[in-house]
């Protein structure tokens, strides 16, 4: 048996240091103090001390988890990794997770829906990128697929068109064909599937300006011609940039 000889308030509000037989033993929160009716001269067995310390560990883990959740919604995986990183015991982590579930502070289903809504509203990410982010956050696959299947297709198309318009403006110096290729690649990289990508590009109703295309080609030739000792190499390079052979020959012949 060990006797509580002193209970000292810490500088942190609601925290106390417990002294047993004249020596510092462990800290507790106010609710632990009340729950176990800890006061001076109370005697504790080794098992009681362990029970108090275990409960204090759980309460502390819970407090840290709630504080972590206060900044933004989290998945179960994120909370679990956070608590393990802070070196809480497995039992304390599992009890904390269950308490958070019971209070609906943890709900991967709601988290996934909220995350998707935010992504659609605040970013240009398509379903595949959103899926990758949710997988990384530890949301179960069945929840991910269920929530992704409920995305409004019109919203996806609207987001894809808006993103595509910005990409077109960035490709002003590229040939029309190269611009289309990069535009399609950009939409794929943003997580949009082939159907949405094709429809978004179609909605833009992009038209090639022949005069502008020839001017871009002339500028390109002027810029890179000195790099190539043979016309065939220059022609091959220009074709990789989306220009047609006949157009290239026409401009080169006109300059000679």
The alpha helices in 137-244, defined as continuous H runs, are 141-149, 153-170, 176-189, 194-204, 210-224, 231-240
| pLDDT value of position 256 | 62
Tens digit of pLDDT for each residue in 190-227?
999 999 999 999 999 999 888 898 888 889 888 888 89
Mean pLDDT for the stretch of residues 159-186: 93
Q: Higher-confidence residue: 254 or 87?
A: 87
H/E stretch holding 62 reads helix 46-69
The region of weakest confidence among 35-39, 191-195, 252-256 is: 252-256
Instruction: Please determine, for residue 77, whether its predicted confidence score (pLDDT) is greater than 80.
Output: yes
Return the half-sphere exposure (C-beta side, CA atoms, 13 A cut-off) of residue 200: 30
User: CATH 1.20.1290.10: does it fit domain 108-151?
Assistant: no
Six-digit token string for 119: 């992504």
H/E stretch holding 115 reads helix 108-122
How many other β-carbons are positioned within 10 Å of the β-carbon of residue 145? 13
Instruction: Please determine, for residue 184, whether its predicted confidence score (pLDDT) is greater than 90.
Output: yes
User: Domain-by-domain residue ranges, the chain?
Assistant: 108-151, 152-171+179-202, 208-255
Mean pLDDT for the stretch of residues 40-52: 92
Asked whether 174 and 242 are in contact (CB, 8 A), the reply is: yes
Percentage of residues of the chain with pLDDT beyond 90: 71
Rounded to whole angstroms, the Cα distance separating 83 from 99 reads: 14
Mean pLDDT computed over every residue of the chain:
92
Six-digit token string for 239: 């074709």
Six-digit token string for 176: 């029309």
Mean pLDDT for the stretch of residues 121-126: 94
* 24 DSSP 8-state letter: E
Tens digit of pLDDT for each residue in 53-66?
998 899 889 999 99
Asked whether 171 and 187 are in contact (CB, 8 A), the reply is: no
Q: Which residue has the tokens 């006061």?
A: 39
Confidence of residue 255 (pLDDT cuts 50, 70, 90): low
Instruction: Please determine, for residue 173, whether its predicted confidence score (pLDDT) is greater than 70.
Output: yes
């Amino acid at each position: 048996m060990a006797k509580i000889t002193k209970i000292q308030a810490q500088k942190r509000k609601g925290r106390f240091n417990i002294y047993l037989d004249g020596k510092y033993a462990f800290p507790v929160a106010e609710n632990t103090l009340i729950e176990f009716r800890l006061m001076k001269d109370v005697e504790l067995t080794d098992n009681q001390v362990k029970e108090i310390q275990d409960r204090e560990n759980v309460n502390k883990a819970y407090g840290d988890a709630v504080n972590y959740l206060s900044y933004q919604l989290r998945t179960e995986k994120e909370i679990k990794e956070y608590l393990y990183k802070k070196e809480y015991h497995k039992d304390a982590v599992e009890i904390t997770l269950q308490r958070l579930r019971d209070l609906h502070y943890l709900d991967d289903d709601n988290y996934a829906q909220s995350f998707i809504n935010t992504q659609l509203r605040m970013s240009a990410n398509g379903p595949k990128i959103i899926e990758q982010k949710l997988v990384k956050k530890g949301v179960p696959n069945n929840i991910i697929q269920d929530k992704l299947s409920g995305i409004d297709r019109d919203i996806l198309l609207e987001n894809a068109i808006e993103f595509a318009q910005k990409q077109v403006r960035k490709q002003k110096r590229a040939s029309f064909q190269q611009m289309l290729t990069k535009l399609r690649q950009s939409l794929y990289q943003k997580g949009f599937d082939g159907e949405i990508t094709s429809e978004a590009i179609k909605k833009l109703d992009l038209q090639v300006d022949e005069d502008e295309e020839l001017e871009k080609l002339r500028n390109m030739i002027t810029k890179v011609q000195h790099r190539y000792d043979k016309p065939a190499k220059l022609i091959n390079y220009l074709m990789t940039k989306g220009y047609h052979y006949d157009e290239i020959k026409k401009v080169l012949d006109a300059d000679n």
